[in-house]
Each structure stands twice: as C-alpha cells, then as structure tokens.
C-alpha cells in the first residue's frame, strides 16, 4: 500500500472538484467554493454551521492553521450566498414566532447572461459537480467564488444552456437592487418601525455596531453594551442557530425597543438590511464608509472595500468585474477603466460610500 502525501490529497481532491490542481489547492477560494457547493448538494437544507463544519473537518491534518481555513470557509460561504449559489431563508413558521432561525438551500442550476455574451453560472447540481456536459465544463472560468462560461464563436450559449436543463435568470431579477434614496430617508423608515414597536427590555447576547469607531475596520466596530444611549444596528443571540440581526434603541446601555431584521415582507437578508442601514447612519454622521481605488494590471482598476455590502451590490460587481484576492481590506474587485467610473457612482448613490482620500488616481 502506497502512502500518499498531503500534497497528493490536495491534488486529487482539487481535481475531483473540476479544478486545475497545478493552479490551486484545497485552501484556495475556488476549491473552498467548490467544496461548499458540493456539500450543499448533499446536506441542504441545513444550518450554515453544518455546511461550514462539513468542509472544515476533512481538512484537519492537511492544512497548517485550521482556524485560518475556517475563517476562509465562512467568508466564502457568505460570498456564495450573496452571489446566489446558495439561498438563505428563514425557517417556515408564523412570522410572529420569535427567534426563528435561518436555513441554507442549494439554488437550482441556473445562469445569467452578461452583455458580453458570457454566462454567469449559478446554483448547485443535485448529483454532479456540474449540470453541464463535459465539453462545457472544460471551458468554465473560475475566479474566486464566481464561475463564468464564455461563448465560443457563433454558438448560441443561451439555447445550449437552457437545453442542458439550466434555468435562465434575468439580470434585473438576479440583482434585485433597491430604489435609490437619501440616508435620512432610509434611516427614517427603520426609525418609524422602531417607534411603533412595543418596549423590549430583556435582550440576551446583544452586541452593538459602534458608529463612533473607525469605519475602515469592520470587526473592530462591534462592542458590548455598556452605557450607550441611542439607536444601533446590532445582533442578538438565540437558542439555536446564528445570531439575529436587529435595530435597537438603548438608554444607558439598556434596551428599550428592538426590531429584528429583515423587516416583515422584505426580500433581502437581515445582514443586507443591517449593512445598508449602517452605511446610512455613517453617511448621516458625515463619516461615510470608504473604499480605496488603485491601478490594477493590464489597464484595470481595483476597488478595495473595508466593510461588507449587501448581496445585490456583490452580485452586480460579480457580473461586471472580477473578485480578486484582497490584502489590507475586506474584499476587492477589478474593473476595466471603461466600467469603473459607473461603479464609483453606484457605490455612492446606492450605498453612500466615499472614495478614501489620498488613494492613487487612475
């Protein structure tokens, strides 16, 4: 019996995911995304923790730092949910039932056509790595969590994909972006809901998003309640499942009123509503969340972000740009010079973000 090395295991498992073992290993975003999609085909519907655990556990002994890998898996899962490969839904039940958790579902194999004629592939095949025939699988371009298929010559890619059993999603329906409005108007919507709710003084496991802390360090803005007074984006624990997102009113560190996010009837996730609400709060304080612009390779432009953005923004950038490895920021995208100016306007108008002063001009 021949003993194989950790490197051999990496190469074999990467190849099983349909990736190039000479270019990536099991700790690459491409491989982690593939493993999550594969696990989702077997385990969903399930909790996020179940899916993360199913990918992290087999890597013990194959990686140097399992905690770093776990963080990578968590971040990649968030990107897959934002992208549309995996769907996040509240558990079925009465809308008034407190502490309902969320479950993950594998989205059906589908695609969105770009203006260039290329297709963005979405979802999970039930019994295979891909719902596509082998000749198409070989042409898939993997860029972090995104999979693209470029049309070859005079090929009618839309017809080929539909005949292959994939569902076509319209670009507009996939993005599902909200209407443009001012920060004050956006905050007023949530303030009105908070004013109308019944007092709530006992909120276990509450953590607050502190608007006073620097906007360029997302994780450092989360704090425990002490003597704060005001209204805050927050998270609260529940008996089962991930912490819930909420908007809470405090006086001297004690909760007075609270609404859970997403609000009733919303088509977005709780985190999407919370992140956009916080960008509005920061913008109204004249301390807007910021991003960095710097030159990329081959005449491209990099936009680097320091805080999460809603899934509809990530989906837009997945369609018109390329997610790239980030260093010193939370995530980054590469755009052509033709497209990046429009994305600057989108970041400002839809999410009230501002370019970081002193960044390189392109």
Q: What is the mean pLDDT of residues 253-271?
A: 91
103 pLDDT exceeds 70?
yes
Q: How many CB atoms lie within 10 A of CB 147?
A: 24
Helix%, strand%, coil% for the chain, nearest 5: 35, 25, 40
Q: Tokens standing for 332?
A: 């980054």
Q: Tokens standing for 311?
A: 């899934």
Q: In this predicted model, what pLDDT tens digit does every residue of 105-136 receive, in sequence order? A: 999 999 998 877 789 999 998 766 666 777 78
Query: Which residues, in sequence order, are bridge partners of residue 335?
Result: 301
97 pLDDT exceeds 70?
no
Query: Which residues, in sequence order, are bridge partners of residue 275?
Result: none
> For position 92, what pLDDT does the model report?
61
Q: Dihedral, CA atoms, 327, 177, 350, 102, nearest 10 degrees? A: -60
Question: Minimal CA–CA distance to 29: which of 9, 50, 55, 4?
Answer: 55
Where do the DSSP E strands lie in 210-313?
222-223, 230-236, 244-251, 254-261, 290-295, 300-305
- Alpha-carbon 322 to chain mean position: 14
Q: What is the mean pLDDT of residues 76-101?
A: 75
Residue 340 · residue 303 · CB < 8 Å: yes
2 pLDDT exceeds 80?
no
**CA 41, 47, 51, 54 torsion-angle sign:** negative
* Cα–Cα distance for residue pair 323/61, rounded to 1 Å: 29
Assign 35 to helix, strand or coil. Answer: helix
Torsion-angle region of 286 (φ positive above 0: left; ψ -120 to 50: alpha; else: beta): left
Q: What is the mean pLDDT of residues 189-215?
A: 92
Q: What is the mean pLDDT of residues 191-204?
A: 90
Averaged confidence pLDDT in the chain = 88
């Amino acid at each position: 019996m021949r003993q194989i090395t950790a490197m051999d295991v990496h190469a074999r498992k990467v190849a099983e995911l349909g990736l190039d073992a000479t270019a990536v290993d099991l700790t690459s975003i491409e491989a982690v995304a593939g493993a999550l999609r594969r696990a989702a085909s077997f385990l969903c519907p399930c909790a996020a923790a179940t899916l993360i655990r199913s990918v992290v556990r087999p890597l013990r002994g194959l990686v140097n730092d399992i905690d770093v890998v776990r963080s990578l898996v968590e971040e990649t899962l968030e990107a897959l949910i934002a992208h549309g490969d995996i769907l996040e839904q509240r558990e079925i039940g009465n809308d008034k039932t407190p502490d309902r958790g969320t479950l993950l579902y594998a989205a059906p194999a589908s695609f969105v056509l770009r203006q260039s004629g290329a297709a963005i592939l979405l979802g999970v095949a039930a019994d295979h790595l891909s719902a596509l025939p082998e000749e198409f699988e070989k042409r898939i371009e993997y860029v972090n969590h995104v999979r693209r298929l470029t049309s070859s010559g005079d090929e009618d890619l839309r017809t080929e994909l539909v005949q292959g059993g994939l569902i076509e999603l319209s670009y507009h329906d996939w993005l599902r972006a909200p209407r443009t409005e001012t920060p004050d108007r956006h905050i007023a919507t949530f303030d009105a809901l908070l004013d109308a709710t019944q007092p709530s003084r006992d909120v276990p496991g509450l953590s607050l998003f502190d608007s006073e802390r620097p906007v360029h360090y997302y994780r450092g803005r989360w704090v425990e309640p002490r003597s704060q007074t005001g209204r805050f984006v927050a998270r609260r624990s529940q008996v089962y499942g991930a912490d819930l997102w909420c908007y809470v009113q405090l006086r001297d560190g004690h909760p007075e009123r609270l609404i859970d996010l997403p609000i009733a009837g919303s088509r977005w996730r709780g985190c999407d509503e919370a992140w956009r609400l916080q960008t509005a709060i920061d913008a109204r304080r004249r301390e807007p969340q910021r991003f960095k612009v710097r030159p990329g390779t081959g005449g491209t432009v990099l936009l680097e972000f320091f805080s999460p953005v809603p899934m509809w923004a990530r989906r837009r950038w997945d369609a018109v740009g390329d997610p790239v490895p980030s260093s010193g920021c939370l995530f980054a995208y590469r755009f052509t010079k033709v497209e990046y100016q429009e994305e600057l306007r989108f970041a400002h108008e839809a999410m009230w973000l501002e370019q970081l002063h002193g960044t390189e001009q392109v």
